[in-house]
Amino acid sequence: MYRMNVYTEKMNRAHAEGLKKQTNNRFLNMYEIDAVQRNGEHFPYYFASRRKDGDLMFETGELRADGVVIYPVYRLEPEKLVLIRQFRYPVNQYIYELPAGLVDAGEEPVAAAIRELKEETGLDFIPFTDYDEALKRPFIQSQGMADECDVTVFGYAEGKVSSAANEDAEDIQVILADKTEVKRILREEWVSIRAAYLLTAFIKSDPENPFEFLSI
């Protein structure tokens, strides 16, 4: 778990003076911040969070993995990457993504990646861990509208593709994409931004050393 420094905490206190919950849903809720402009005037600022009351990043300053993004090189054919094409309700469209999912309470990101890849694709995940610790920590996404933090977990996938563990609300197609197909997807399809830039790394990668780009 990572904590923001004191200077950052002071900046947050100067920029906001209150927090109010707007919804009471099971998985995701809206909050209103009593935000303060540079001129001292107050205005309402809204954001979403998956975290429990009292545990929001706004309140704790803790950078913690809420979810994982999985970068799975297909072990039998390391020139291919495992992608998913999933229907996403907010955009009413199928989106090309890397497999991903939420981290359960008390679960480590690597364990979550193993579980989520199995659930979404039927494949087994073998983590690759020999890379810089700086890239194993959580990073913030959608920071203008949510406090979600994700860890990207890299490794190999093997086994047989299956949708048996998909939830009823999930509409997922598993794709083993080579570099030619990845280039086509980037040019022509709807793609999540967190997948798009990792796909550019995949295009430049060496199948004999597929995680070399993780050196920083």
Which residues are catalytic, by number?
A: 170
DSSP per position, 165-185: T--TT--EEEEEE-HHHHHHH
Strand extents, DSSP E, the chain: 2-3, 16-21, 29-36, 42-49, 62-63, 67-74, 81-88, 93-97, 100-102, 124-127, 139-140, 149-158, 172-177
Distance CA 92, CA 94 (A): 7
Residue 144 phi, psi dihedral angles, 5° rounding: -80, -15
Distance CA 82, CA 123 (A): 9
Q: Which residues pair with 82 in a beta bridge?
A: 176
Specify the amino acid at residue 114: I
- Structure-token pair, residue 32: 């209103």
Whether the CB-CB separation of 16 and 34 falls below 8 Å is answered with: yes
- Structure-token pair, residue 91: 């955009």
- Structure-token pair, residue 161: 């593709």
